[in-house]
Every structure is written in structure tokens, then in C-alpha cells.
A and B are shown apart, each in its own frame.
Chain A
């Protein structure tokens, strides 16, 4: 399409399909490509953010993106001051989000930033351990505060006596409601400020170490670098470890394990277990694991509809069933952490031995220690922010949703996510005003209901539309660490996009490319899973093809031959877990779940990042 011109369409001229009409009003106006900023916007390179926003964006879910745009960027530009790098800007085009790494600032600014960088950054590396302890304490406190925010269950006919006598509290539910939402928004923004506290530096250190490794061992694979850097004791793996622990506990409780192995639903199992003396003890342990570990999202944590283990208890119970069965067969279910660490240390030692000069060996060690010191941050923050924190937020927002349903402002609880964070205060204010005005006051419930319905239709239609991968002019250089490491924006990628993957011809595509994130070559039948709940269909020995994976998918990896994902780089969950289990994987293909159908025979080459469809089903 644009190969000959070397540029993608101008975002201002690009037309989205007519069935998406009205999409603009779902998002804040500064998120739209606009004539006011046309000159600047035209000169940038915008690509669809398939990592955070692979799906059409529900208006309220945009809050996470808004929060990271500010936070990620400020750490690079104003806090730690990575000299030539600027922030990442976001725009919506249709219900899909596009992002752009802003080109470097003028040389003068780069010079100023370099001085600040030197002064500010090394402190973090030198004090990482203590900073992490502080970070976690601070972050968990914030999550606890969020969980404690009181959402009025309803607007009462009259305020309770206790709030008036003996002395009036002075402010009431009409205020509480609006304040609660504002607090939740503020807390989310604050949490995301914390999120990037050390992340930009972690990515920078990773790129630095990868560069050293490549200079010493030309052609070394990304998966080898990933394996050297990865840790074993990572919060992201805790949910799965807790399941293993619970399964082991059940092994000494005959009746409990019988219930757990049965085909009952989670609710039924809970009821049965409560009747058993051992069952009560087991449930106590289950409850202990639940907070925080079962706050893990069933998806990426970025969308309200994904749910968490907590809201889909059938998922953890299903995994526990599998683990109990495997334990009874005498299988080992736990990841052996010591083994993983030992293996990693051996790999590092082997590479180290291959370095020819003492000087280089010292640089390698120094570079390695630098990344190892801080890399845990990349692995640990993820669970706490995208999973635990987001799950709490979704719960709280749903409490507000319930109240809105109760007062006939929306049809379903989740319809609250059809309004963006600027619209909800208006909606709540209208409700509070109506309540305050007295009885028989007309409210525009129907207006909001219609709006929610219309928006749901637009989002559904957007799913059928395949967004263009990029807009604008490809850049000459990139300095922003996330762009390189997380989104993997490279010359090859841009060229691939310029070629344009024609989705109408999905059936004709027989080869797709992604990151070679876990080595090995294997052939087998595909199982395409768009949602975690479909994992019941997965058969042992199949190749998992899915949008992305996260900790809640962990138990799946012992069953599969290989994994292919749409989204995710070399440090994505699927990549890390596959490397650990020695399962080949190709991540970040962008199109796997569109192009591949369940039953197709695939050849997954984790050494080169190529997935070949050897045979189409039927």
C-alpha cells in the first residue's frame, strides 16, 4: 500500500469504516488527531499499541493508558532524564490506540539532561534493594487504601440518623459518591506514577547488557540474553505457586482432594468443603492465598471484561484439580526455583568462560551485575500494578456500577465502563442532584442507557475491523527504551508493516514472524484460545496460539508443545515461562490468532521467530 512512498497514511485523512461512526465521543478530545496539532502529528510515526491496547478500547479502560502516557514519559523527560529520549504520545483512531515515540529534543536539552541523568540514575542502581522494599510497602499501602474506599451501596431515602445526630457529619452521600470516584481515579493515577519509578531504568539496563552480550558473542539470541537476566523468585509466579501449595495440602486430606478432583463448579466445591472438618482448614488456607495472589487477572489486566481468578473461581479450582491429579500420579508440579537459578548461573558462567580478555570479562560482569540488580523490578512490579491493583479498581468501579443500575441510570453493572473518566462525574453529579432535589425528579437514565448501547455496538463493530498497523512517517532513529525493547520497533518491523498484512487474505498466509523468544523447533496441531476460559479445550501436545499470556495461564505451559502469541516481546510472560519449561515460542507476531485456526498443523521455530502453517485443517 505505502511501500513505494515509505510512509503510512496521514492520520488526519485516514477514514475509519462507517459502522464506527460516533467513536470520537467515547474518548477525551485531546486523544483525537486534530487540525490544531496537524503539522506536528503528521510528522510523527504512529503505530497501533498491540501490547496495551490490542482490542477496541472501552472508554473507562482508557484511564490506564492515560496514566501511563504521563508517567512513562515524565520519568524519561523530566525525572531521570534519559538524554536523547522523549516521551510516548497516544492517540485514538477509531477505538484503537496508536502511540508514537517522540523524536529527540534539541542538543542543548540533551546536554542538560545528560548531567541530570548521571547525577540521578546511579543512585537508584546503588540502592535498588532498599528502594524496592520501600516501593512495595508504598504500593501495597496505596492498594489497601483503594480497597478501603467506601462506595455507598445506594442513595437512601433519608440519610441515616447516626449521620445527623447527635451532630451532623456535615457531608453526605451525594458528596461521598462523587468523592469516591474521584479518589479511585486519583489513586489509579498515583499507582501508575509509582509503576514507572524504576522501570525505564530497568529497560535501559537491559538494552545495555544485551548490547554488551552481542558485542562479545555476535549473533547471540535474545532468548539467551533473556535467560541470563531472568530471576526465578518472581511475584508473577506466586499465584501458580499458591495453587501448587494448596494442591499439596489437599494430598494429606483424602476427602478434600476427592471434592477438588470432582467435576463440580467452584461454588459447589466450596459448599462441599465447608461441610468437611479438613475442608474448613483447607478453605482457610485458600483464603490466605486469595489476597493478594488470586487478584491475578485472567487477561493482561488492561481490560475490565477479562476478570480475575477471584471473580472466576472456576479457574483456580480447575487448575488445582489438575495439580491434585498429577500429584496422585506421582508427578512433580512445582517449578524448581533453585534449579532455575542454578541453570541460569551456569549459562552465565559458560558465556563468561568464553570471553577472551580479562578486560572484557570485567566489563561483562559489571554489566551483568547492573542489570541483575534492577531487573527484578521489571518482573515484580507487573503483578502488583497490572494485576492486583487493577483488579481492586475494577471491583470498586463495579460497586459504583451497581449503584447506577439500582438507580436506573444504566442497564448493567459493566455499562459503567462505556463512559470515560470525565463523563462519569457528570453522570454521578446528575444522579446526586436528582436525589438532592427530592422526589419525582426526572433523570436522564434513558440517555445514558442509549449511549452505552450505542458504544457497545461501535466496540463490537471495531472488533471486526482490522486497524491499520501504522500512520505517518517512519522515524530515522529511536532513542526511547520502551519503543525498542517492549514494542520491538525495528527497521524490520516497520518494513513488514509497510508491506501491509492483508487480512482478507489470512487464509493465504502460510508464514508469520515474531520474536524468537524461546529456542527450539517443533511441529504440532494449533489450539487457538482467545480467552482464558477456553483453556478447557486445550489438549496435551497442542501448540498454544493466543493473544498473550500472563501469570494466570501458567499451569497451561506444562501441557503444550509450543506457544505463539500476538503480543509480547522477549520479556513477556509467555517468553519467560516457555524458556523455563524449554518449550519453543514465538511471541509478538501481531496476527497469529487471526491467521491460524485450531487444528492447523504448525511448525514453530523458536530459534528464528518464524511460524509456518504446514497444513491447513480440512
Chain B
């Protein structure tokens, strides 16, 4: 039984053990994509925890016959379960395994205490047909074994937010079948970060990669708290067909004094500046294409550009999941089955409007 597994040892077959997000990071590392190093706290850790702490049966008992539309009952049950998870002692061997995993990561990064992102990775999450995305928590810039373990526990608890519970009931996922793993990943000290899609999310055009990015950590883009810079890039020609630079008022950064990540104001002269260079855009597109062809489907990817490294070693992928909106639609014909002859005849009849 493995309580922790290095990302490098993971692939999609590890999904039941490490959840979708972590398995996907392992897949990408195997495909040669630059992913920040880290390890997964497996679902076995979680199971061993709730079993050995003897809270497992209690949890599933309170969840039985819960009406998801009864908000009060839902909130009470959620609070009760979360309380159980927060209070129960974590078995020592699990704590040791996480501690060892963290120390090894520190060694690998050649720093005493490496800041990490702690993210939950549920086993039913991010399946193309069931988007659980964003339902579990993420904790940024966590430093030291104790804090890592603390946040692992929070992630475990996040499996039982009222929203997550209700979602499972309504979509007929059994609570027992949905397990949780946690990813511990080296933080990218990002100058700029954001998301990208290997399909144009506005029209479903799969010949484009659409990148959105802003200053600092990617959370501002993911959460929608800034208008990001946006680039539409042609996959075949690698040309930037469209670029819109927005005013980016805030950025998410690590505050040394507070010891946490905070949203701060962006310097005025930086607000309207493009947050990335063209070569960085093109490098991202290259990686996006690689990821898409690895998975064989349109993907939704989180990326970050590290200020401590130089191009192209500064480009990191921190997350990738299948795109779920357009991928589920049945593709429609755009040309309507016309022949070259019909198309030519149509063109010949055309008049181009020039509005006055």
C-alpha cells in the first residue's frame, strides 16, 4: 500500500489511487511536458485515515437518506462530517509518508523549505462527462511538513462540502465510491499565469489554441477576478491571429509578511502591458498541441511562467483536463456538403456589403 506516490511514477492507470488531476500530471511528465515536480497523497492514505481513525462508518451513516434539496439538513450534515475529518488523528505512518515525500521534494528542488500548492484530486473529478472541477480546494504557497499535512486534511474535508455532497446525490455517484487524493506540487514563482484551451471555447473551432493570462499566479484568471490578456493562435501556422490586451488591475502573489497569497494592485504602468512575450505564447501553443495529441481530445490547461528561470525553461504546465463543453456536442457541418462547383457558383453570385 502506497500512501504517497511521486508524480513521475503516475499515469492514467493510477487514477483510482491518485485521482484525475494527479494522474494527469503524471501522464504529462511521461509525455515530456514540463510540469512542476511533486507527489500525490493517495486515496489509500485517505481510506486508511478514515478507517484507522474510526470515522468511516459514522460518515456514511450520516449521509444516508439525505435530501439534497433540504438546505439546512445538507449544511448540518456537511458540517458534521467535516468536523469528524478535522478532529480525527492522522495515523503516524501516513504523517511520516507525507513528511518524507515533502522532504524529498525539498531535496529535489535544492531548497530547505519548498513552497507547494496543495490540491485535492478526487477520483470522479474531471471526467469528460462529469465536471467536478473546482469543487475541491486548492491551497497555495504552503511551506513546511506540518502545514502540508494540515492542508491535506482540509482537502480531505473538502470532499464533503454541501455542494459536493449534493452534486453526488443528484448525479447518482455513491459517496463511498468517490475517494480523494491530494497533490503536493512545487509552486511556480509565476510572473504570469493563466489557462489555455486547445479549442476556441467561443465557437468550438479546433484549429486554434486560446490562451488567457495575467500577472502573478493563475488564480485571478481561473476565478475570473481579472480580465486577462487573450491570444488566439492558429495551431497549424503557429500565427497569433488575435490578441487583446486588457487592463489587469490586480494580481495574486505570495505575501512574505502575511505568509499567504494575496491579491494586490498591479503597478499602473504594468496594468496595460502584455503579460507575455510572443515566443512564450508560441511555446505554450506547442505544449498545448502536444498535450492535446497525447490525450487525443481537446484539453483545458493551466500554465504558469516562472520568473526564476529563463525561456524556455520557465514555462510550466500545472494542470490539464479534458474540455467538456464542445467535446460533448455533435459536430455540425459548416459547408453543408456543397461541392466545389456549387461553392464556386455561390461565390460568383455573391456581393460583398460595404456598410456606409
* Distance of A6 Cα from B356 Cα, bound (Å): 7
Cβ of B347 under 8 Å from chain A: yes
Cross-interface CB contact of B334 among A110, A117, A216, A494, cutoff 8 Å:
A216
A478 CB contacts on chain B under 8 angstroms? 351-352, 354
A494 CB contacts on chain B under 8 angstroms? 354
Contact A363 B343 (CB under 8 A): yes
Interface residues of A in 110-129 (CB under 8 A from B): 110, 114, 117-118, 121-122, 125
Cβ of B331 under 8 Å from chain A: yes
- Chain A nearest CB from B167 CB (Å) reads 31
A413 CB contacts on chain B under 8 angstroms? none
A401 CB contacts on chain B under 8 angstroms? none
Interface residues of B in 25-74 (CB under 8 A from A): none
Contact A208 B343 (CB under 8 A): yes
A219 with B205, Cβ < 8 A, contacts A84-B351, A104-B351, A490-B354 known: yes
* Distance of A10 Cα from B193 Cα, bound (Å): 55
Cβ of B237 under 8 Å from chain A: yes
B237 CB contacts on chain A under 8 angstroms? 221, 223-224, 227, 347, 519
Cβ of B259 under 8 Å from chain A: no
* Distance of A304 Cα from B341 Cα, bound (Å): 41
* Distance of A356 Cα from B232 Cα, bound (Å): 19
B333 CB contacts on chain A under 8 angstroms? 357, 359-360
A607 CB contacts on chain B under 8 angstroms? 239-241
- Chain A nearest CB from B112 CB (Å) reads 42
A357 CB contacts on chain B under 8 angstroms? 331-333
- Chain B nearest CB from A124 CB (Å) reads 11
Contact A360 B335 (CB under 8 A): yes
- Chain B nearest CB from A488 CB (Å) reads 11
Cβ of A205 under 8 Å from chain B: yes
B337 CB contacts on chain A under 8 angstroms? 359, 362-363
Contact A354 B347 (CB under 8 A): no
* Distance of A476 Cα from B339 Cα, bound (Å): 29
Interface residues of B in 319-353 (CB under 8 A from A): 331-341, 343-353
Cross-interface CB contact of A117 among B240, B335, B348, B354, cutoff 8 Å:
B348
What is the chain B residue whose CB lies nearest that of A519?
B239
Cross-interface CB contact of A219 among B208, B236, B339, B341, cutoff 8 Å:
B208
- Chain B nearest CB from A18 CB (Å) reads 33
What is the chain B residue whose CB lies nearest that of A490?
B354
A322-330, A366-374, A459-467 - the one binding chain B: A366-374
- Chain B nearest CB from A388 CB (Å) reads 30
Cβ of B235 under 8 Å from chain A: yes
Contact A221 B234 (CB under 8 A): yes
Interface 0/1 of B225-250, CB less than 8 Å to A: 00000001011111111110000000
A221 CB contacts on chain B under 8 angstroms? 234, 237, 239, 241
Cβ of B278 under 8 Å from chain A: yes
Contact B335 A491 (CB under 8 A): no
B234 CB contacts on chain A under 8 angstroms? 217, 219-221, 224
Cβ of B172 under 8 Å from chain A: no
Contact A491 B355 (CB under 8 A): yes
* Distance of A369 Cα from B341 Cα, bound (Å): 11
B335 CB contacts on chain A under 8 angstroms? 212, 215-216, 359-360, 363-364
* Distance of A215 Cα from B341 Cα, bound (Å): 17
Cross-interface CB contact of B236 among A82, A218, A351, A479, cutoff 8 Å:
A351
Cβ of A9 under 8 Å from chain B: no
- Chain A nearest CB from B138 CB (Å) reads 33
* Distance of A370 Cα from B349 Cα, bound (Å): 17
What is the chain A residue whose CB lies nearest that of B347?
A208
Contact B241 A220 (CB under 8 A): yes
A212 CB contacts on chain B under 8 angstroms? 335, 343
Cross-interface CB contact of A217 among B205, B332, B354, cutoff 8 Å:
B205
* Distance of A6 Cα from B241 Cα, bound (Å): 30
- Interface size class, chain A: 35 or more
Cβ of B13 under 8 Å from chain A: no
What is the chain B residue whose CB lies nearest that of A6?
B356
A508 CB contacts on chain B under 8 angstroms? none
- Chain B nearest CB from A382 CB (Å) reads 23
B243 CB contacts on chain A under 8 angstroms? 608
* Distance of A216 Cα from B343 Cα, bound (Å): 14
Interface 0/1 of A338-382, CB less than 8 Å to B: 000000000100110010110110111011011000000000000
Cross-interface CB contact of B356 among A207, A208, A476, cutoff 8 Å:
A476
What is the chain A residue whose CB lies nearest that of B356?
A6
Contact B349 A114 (CB under 8 A): yes
- Chain A nearest CB from B238 CB (Å) reads 8
Contact B232 A219 (CB under 8 A): yes
What is the chain B residue whose CB lies nearest that of A369?
B340
* Distance of A556 Cα from B161 Cα, bound (Å): 67
Contact B353 A83 (CB under 8 A): no
- Chain A nearest CB from B245 CB (Å) reads 12
What is the chain A residue whose CB lies nearest that of B239?
A519
Interface centre among B331, B343, B348 (most CB of A within 10 A): B348
B241 CB contacts on chain A under 8 angstroms? 219-221, 607
Cβ of B207 under 8 Å from chain A: yes
Cβ of A231 under 8 Å from chain B: no
- Chain A nearest CB from B38 CB (Å) reads 34
- Chain A nearest CB from B327 CB (Å) reads 11
Interface centre among B331, B334, B355 (most CB of A within 10 A): B334
Cβ of B200 under 8 Å from chain A: yes
Contact A366 B354 (CB under 8 A): no
Contact A83 B348 (CB under 8 A): yes
What is the chain B residue whose CB lies nearest that of A103?
B351
* Distance of A351 Cα from B237 Cα, bound (Å): 10
Cross-interface CB contact of B350 among A363, A479, A519, cutoff 8 Å:
A479
Interface 0/1 of A552-591, CB less than 8 Å to B: 0000000000000000000000000000000000000000
A359 CB contacts on chain B under 8 angstroms? 333, 335-337
* Distance of A479 Cα from B338 Cα, bound (Å): 21
* Distance of A15 Cα from B200 Cα, bound (Å): 52
Interface residues of B in 225-284 (CB under 8 A from A): 232, 234-243, 278
Cβ of B93 under 8 Å from chain A: no
Cβ of A534 under 8 Å from chain B: no
Contact A479 B340 (CB under 8 A): no
Cβ of A475 under 8 Å from chain B: yes
- Chain A nearest CB from B292 CB (Å) reads 11
Cβ of A405 under 8 Å from chain B: no
Cβ of A477 under 8 Å from chain B: yes
- Chain B nearest CB from A371 CB (Å) reads 9
- Chain A nearest CB from B142 CB (Å) reads 39
A370 with B348, Cβ < 8 A, contacts A477-B353, A478-B354, A519-B237 known: no
Contact A363 B339 (CB under 8 A): yes
Interface centre among A205, A207, A367 (most CB of B within 10 A): A367
* Distance of A114 Cα from B345 Cα, bound (Å): 8
- Chain B nearest CB from A158 CB (Å) reads 62
Contact A220 B353 (CB under 8 A): no
B353 CB contacts on chain A under 8 angstroms? 476-477
Cβ of A521 under 8 Å from chain B: yes
Cβ of B206 under 8 Å from chain A: yes
Interface 0/1 of A78-117, CB less than 8 Å to B: 0000111100000000000000000010000010001001
What is the chain B residue whose CB lies nearest that of A7?
B356
A220 CB contacts on chain B under 8 angstroms? 207, 234, 241
A475 with B348, Cβ < 8 A, contacts A219-B205, A219-B208 known: no
* 9 sampled A-B residue pairs with Cβ under 8 A: A83-B349, A84-B350, A350-B235, A356-B206, A363-B339, A366-B343, A484-B352, A494-B354, A607-B241
Other A-B pairs, 13, CB within 8 Å; known A114-B348, A521-B278: A84-B349, A117-B348, A212-B343, A216-B207, A216-B334, A220-B234, A224-B237, A224-B239, A350-B236, A359-B335, A363-B343, A366-B339, A478-B354
